[in-house]
Amino acid sequence: MCSAQPSRTNPLNNSAADIDTGRATFRIYCAPCHGIGAAGGSGPDLTLGVYEVGDSDEDLFEVIQDGVNGTEMSGFGERMNDNTIWRILAYVRSVARRDAPVLTGDVTRGESIYQEKGGCAGCHRIAGTGGRLGPNLSRIGRTLSFARLQEALVEPSKNIAKGFDTITVVERDGEAVRGRQMSIDNFSVQLMDSREEIHSYLRDEVRSVEQEPKSLMPSYEGMLSGSEIDDVLAYLVSLRGDQ
């Protein structure tokens, strides 16, 4: 008996109709994270033609079916039948550009800018060390497209990461506490302040509550030079959760 199972390939013939159906399904289920054209959003850019999970049909089928444990990428196997997944894959294949951005920055320099000049570690954690006001960046190189990483540095308020909205509560005595909104409802607010202390307020016990459409993260445009930003980007792209 032959022991190794041959790797499964897409049994559909990737016809225009398959791609079209796959595209329509992608827009419903996947676009909220991967972007309407699959070029990335809060989830990775799927148009690069190379994938972290592997490039075979089977690798991609499995990640769509089972998801990536411990990340936003949940499995769709229980909601979709095999052919629906294969059609989505046909669509993903059809938009692959195979023109990954050329990284000009230097990872080592980027890391030291991250730690020192940029002060990024004060707000972000990597592999268990750093601050908590911003998202954990341990595998950010897997999750965000290059364009989104770039945007995060120069225009942080354009797309605010889920769970990291900014909120200011003015207490009765006039003291303003600004921080990361952890939860909000019609009667209460929970936030993490810049010292990473968690506060819980009943809204009728404070003077005001203001949600801001502005990131707690400063823009680094002008604060870091163009080449320093390239270095930081190279470092961010290298963060793949295996530190």
Question: 198 touches which of another protein, ligand HEC, none (CB within 5 to 8 A by kind)?
Answer: another protein
One DSSP character per residue, 2-49 reads --SPPPP---S---HHHHHHHHHHHHHHTHHHH-TTSS-SSS--S-SS
Question: 75 touches which of ligand HEC, another protein, none (CB within 5 to 8 A by kind)?
Answer: another protein
One-letter identity of residue 7? S
Of the candidate residues 19, 39, 60, 234, the single one contacting ligand HEC (CB under 6 A): 60
Bridge partners, 221 (sequence order): 224
Residues 154/219, Cβ–Cβ less than 8 Å = yes
Least spacing, CB of residue 175 vs another protein, in Å: 14
Residues 18/116, Cβ–Cβ less than 8 Å = no
By CB under 6 A, is residue 23 in contact with ligand HEC?
A: no
Of the candidate residues 19, 152, 167, 239, the single one contacting ligand HEC (CB under 6 A): 152
Binding residues for ligand HEC restricted to 131-150, rule: CB under 6 A: 133-135, 139-140, 142-144, 149
Provide the mask over 205-234, with x wherever binding to ligand HEC is found by CB under 6 A and - wherever it is not: ----------xxx--x-----------x--
Tell which residue, 32, 34, 7, 13, has the closest CA to residue 144.
34
Maximum Cα–Cα distance across the chain: 79
* Piece in contact with another protein (CB under 8 A), picked from 33-41, 93-101, 141-149, 188-196: 188-196
Residues 214/166, Cβ–Cβ less than 8 Å = yes
d(CA 226, CA 220): 10
Q: Which residues bind ligand HEC (CB under 6 A)?
A: 29-30, 32-34, 43-44, 46, 51-53, 60, 63-64, 68, 71-73, 76, 88, 114, 118-120, 122-124, 133-135, 139-140, 142-144, 149, 152-153, 156, 160-161, 164, 180, 215-217, 220, 232, 236
